[in-house]
């Protein structure tokens, strides 16, 4: 991990993300690219009116000054931080900045509090997750433990999940993280017998790893929704992080299909990292 992008909008949640990124940067001797998106319209910037131009310059300078002040944090001491200010852009284009700078991960804050799905839906975080080709780490509170010793990776073990699974394995291989692989069995049409689940997992491991060495390490849990199953298991094993695949522009809801509209009565505070399918 060499470069970490942190989108900054001056909220307490981007503060959490920045502090998390600082811890990761110190552990990996990485650089933080602190990104502020002004989101100013092209017609405002290009307006030939002198008064309008002066106002535009004033607001740009004001935003940049506030940005510099935001980065004056004790936890950033001894961390290389490069401020990046982008005009005209919106949050869904953070992935373009990540590609431009060859970043390894995006760390974002989120105020979601009603289960895994609600972390992303209707937010700037969702826009970044949908468009990012690199992992996105979503944090919801001030970091306490960023060692990520126990990570739950949940998927349906279909062939489409091979790529995010391998990317997750590669991402965590240099750390001491214990990657716990989880299959959530659901009622109704998506229900599978034990034999069917084991056959699905065996086929997946043969495709992904070329062997069945992890066949006895797969965890199975039955629940009414994927979200509830993942969060229940994460609590049972004392997980520090939840890893999930996402279908990019179709959004994370494609993976969490079935009960997305339900009001899930849980409030996960665990960070979540996404890997694109």
- Reported as a single tens digit per residue, the pLDDT across 81-137 is 998 887 655 666 788 889 999 999 999 988 765 556 655 554 677 778 878 889 999
Q: Do domains 1-109 and 143-277 have the same CATH topology?
A: yes
Q: Which residue has the higher pLDDT, 190 or 45?
A: 190
- In whole angstroms, give the CA distance from residue 33 to residue 85: 10
**Cα–Cα distance, 143 to 17 (Å, whole number):** 8
Tokens read off for 169: 């394995």
| Confidence grade of residue 173 (pLDDT, cut at 50, 70, 90) | confident
- What does the pLDDT read at residue 110? 81
pLDDT above 70: residue 74: yes
Residue 46 sits at the vertex; the CA angle it makes with 82 and 63, to the nearest 5 degrees, is 35
Distance CA 249, CA 226 (A): 20
**Protein fold of 143-277:** Rossmann fold (3.40.50)
pLDDT of residue 56: 62
Q: How many CA atoms, within 13 angstroms, populate the side-chain half-sphere of residue 149?
A: 4
Out of 83-87, 243-247, 261-265, least confident range: 261-265
The domain 1-109 belongs to what CATH superfamily? HUPs (3.40.50.620)
For the chain, the structural domain boundaries read 1-109, 143-277
Other Cβ atoms within 10 Å of 57 Cβ, number: 11
Using the 8-state DSSP alphabet, how is residue 272 labeled? E
Neighbours of 244 (CB within 10 A): 22
Q: Any idea what the Cα angle at residue 66 is, between residues 97 and 33, rounded to 5°?
A: 25
């Amino acid at each position: 991990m060499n470069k970490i992008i942190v989108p900054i909008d001056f909220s307490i949640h981007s503060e959490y993300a920045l502090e998390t990124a600082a811890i990761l940067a110190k552990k990996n001797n990485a650089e933080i690219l602190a990104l502020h998106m002004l989101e100013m319209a092209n017609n405002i910037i290009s307006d030939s009116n002198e008064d309008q131009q002066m106002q535009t310059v004033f607001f740009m300078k004001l935003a940049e000054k506030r940005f510099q002040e935001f980065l004056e944090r004790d936890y950033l001491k001894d961390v290389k931080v490069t401020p990046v200010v982008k005009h005209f852009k919106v949050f869904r284009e953070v992935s373009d900045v990540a590609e431009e700078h060859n970043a390894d991960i995006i760390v974002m804050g989120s105020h979601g509090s009603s289960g895994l799905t609600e972390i992303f839906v209707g937010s700037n975080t969702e826009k970044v997750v949908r468009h990012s080709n690199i992992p996105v780490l979503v944090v919801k509170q001030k970091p306490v433990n960023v060692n990520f010793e126990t990570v739950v990776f949940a998927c349906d073990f279909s062939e489409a999940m091979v790529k995010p699974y391998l990317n997750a394995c590669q991402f965590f291989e240099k750390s001491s993280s214990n990657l716990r692989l989880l299959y959530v069995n659901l009622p109704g049409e998506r229900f599978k017998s034990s034999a069917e689940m084991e056959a699905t997992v065996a086929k997946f491991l043969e495709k992904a790893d070329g062997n069945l060495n992890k066949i006895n390490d797969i965890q199975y849990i039955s629940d009414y929704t994927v979200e509830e199953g993942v969060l229940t298991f994460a609590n049972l094993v004392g997980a520090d992080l939840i890893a999930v695949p996402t279908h990019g522009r179709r959004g994370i809801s494609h993976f969490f299909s079935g009960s997305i509209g339900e009001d899930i009565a849980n409030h996960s505070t665990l960070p979540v990292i996404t890997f694109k399918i």
